């Protein structure tokens, strides 16, 4: 602790590819803008169509909102493309990780809640409305937020106790906890224990609940006699299962893969997947094979067409 304390960090980002700086900036800017546009459109679409005011789409709109918050670490990364010194203060680094971790853990809990919603819809169809009441759905979302931010706050408190005396270079495009622990001069054993406990609480518990829910769902689907009924039941779960697989698959690769120089570069690429690409793809995953959203979109097109003809005729009458 007698050494000089580090107050700023240098984010390397994608400085390993200087020749592709402009191309990478354009790609990431496009991903960011598409993510914002698609998720905001999905939220607006669900809000304005009364046929989509069901628990499933209530959770989906909240997932889209958290994806917007989750991907909002991108602007810092985009601005760093044009800065010689990609520096960030220690407090700024800690707060960046706090919000990133909070929304990530909240999304983890929300995906679990959505799995329970699918279980109730397929396995308990007659009691679905009573089980997934608006009050209960709201409590699940609020509980997900409280749990996610609480878990991240515990990590933040432990992180602020660490001491940094150099080096101060982070081989990543945002402040992630594994890289900060590597640079710390302090004993990180306590923080590692906290991370391990939170991993068990969040990741393993969430995966276990999701697997149990889908176990019951598969058994129920196999009992359905008609092929059309089985297909319809499967389609209601396919989108959620795809989103869960992408989210947990990329996260597992980043945080459970052994550390080395090569794995750091691979981890950085995998981080792009779950930080930027997955939030962009989620609206498409939940919309492309969703009949209810397609029907709602067709209703919108029809109403827009009828409304356009109405105002056109009104304009003609007023001119006469």
pLDDT at res. 319: 52
Q: Is residue 61 part of a domain?
A: yes
Q: Is residue 55 part of a domain?
A: yes
The yes-or-no verdict on residue 58 having pLDDT over 70 is yes
Mean pLDDT of the chain: 82
Q: Containing domain of residue 304, as a range?
A: 8-308
Instruction: Report the C-alpha gap between 1 and 98 in whole angstroms.
Output: 25
Helix pair 90-123, 55-70: axis angle to 10 deg: 160
Q: Is residue 292 part of a domain?
A: yes
| 2 token code pair | 């007698």
Strand pairing category for 8-11 and 87-89: antiparallel
pLDDT at res. 315: 47
Q: Is residue 17 part of a domain?
A: yes
Q: CB within 8 A of 56, min separation 6: which ones? A: 114, 117, 118, 121, 236
109/312: higher pLDDT: 109
Q: Is residue 320 part of a domain?
A: no
pLDDT at res. 259: 54
Q: Is residue 272 part of a domain?
A: yes
Q: What 3-state class would DSSP assign to 296?
A: helix
pLDDT band at 314 (very low <50, low <70, confident <90, very high): very low
DSSP 154-208: HHHHHHTT----S--EESSSS--HHHHHHH-SS--HHHHHHHHHHHIIIIIHHHH
C-beta separation of 148 from 206 below 8 A? no
pLDDT at res. 79: 78
Place of tokens 């499933």: 56
The yes-or-no verdict on residue 41 having pLDDT over 70 is yes
Furthest CA-CA distance within the chain:
88
* pLDDT, tens digit (0-9, with 9 covering 90-100), for 116-170: 999 999 999 889 999 999 999 999 999 999 999 999 999 999 999 888 887 888 8
Can you give the CATH number for the domain in which 139 is found? 1.20.1070.10
Q: Is residue 317 part of a domain?
A: no
Q: Is residue 3 part of a domain?
A: no
**What would the mean pLDDT of 301-309 be, rounded to a whole number?**
55
> How many CB atoms neighbour CB 129 within 10 A?
11
Cα distances (angstroms) measured from residue 91 to each of 76, 126, 149, 159: 15, 51, 17, 10
Q: In total, how many domains does the chain have?
A: 1
What pTM does this model have? 0.85
Closest by CA to 29, choosing from 234, 291, 276, 299, is 276
């Amino acid at each position: 602790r007698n050494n000089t304390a580090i107050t700023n960090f240098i984010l390397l980002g994608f400085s390993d590819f200087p020749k592709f700086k402009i191309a990478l900036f354009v790609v990431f800017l496009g991903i960011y803008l598409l993510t914002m546009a698609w998720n905001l459109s999905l939220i607006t679409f669900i809000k304005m169509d009364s046929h989509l005011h069901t628990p499933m789409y209530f959770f989906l709109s909240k997932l889209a909102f958290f994806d917007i918050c989750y991907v909002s670490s991108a602007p810092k990364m985009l601005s760093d493309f044009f800065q010689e010194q990609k520096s960030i203060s220690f407090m700024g680094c800690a707060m960046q990780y706090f919000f990133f971790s909070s929304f990530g853990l909240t999304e983890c809990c929300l995906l679990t809640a959505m799995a329970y919603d699918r279980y109730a819809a397929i396995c308990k169809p007659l009691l679905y409305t009573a089980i997934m009441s608006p009050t209960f759905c709201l409590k699940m979302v609020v509980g997900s937020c409280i749990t996610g931010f609480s878990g991240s706050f515990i990590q933040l408190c432990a992180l602020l106790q660490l001491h940094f005396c150099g080096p101060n270079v982070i081989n990543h495009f945002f402040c992630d906890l594994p890289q900060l622990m590597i640079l710390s001069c302090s004993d990180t054993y306590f923080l590692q224990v906290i991370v391990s406990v939170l991993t068990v609480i969040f990741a393993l518990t969430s995966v276990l609940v999701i697997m149990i829910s889908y176990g019951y769902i598969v058994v129920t689907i196999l009992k359905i006699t008609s092929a059309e009924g089985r297909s319809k039941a499967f389609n209601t779960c396919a989108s959620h299962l795809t989103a869960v697989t992408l989210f947990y698959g990329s996260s597992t690769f980043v945080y459970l893969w052994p550390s080395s120089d090569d794995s750091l570069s691979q981890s950085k690429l995998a981080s792009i997947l779950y930080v930027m690409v997955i939030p962009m793809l989620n609206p498409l995953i939940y919309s492309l094979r969703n009949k209810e959203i397609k029907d709602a979109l067709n209703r919108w097109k029809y109403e827009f067409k009828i409304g356009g003809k109405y105002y056109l005729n009104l304009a003609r009458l007023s001119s006469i």
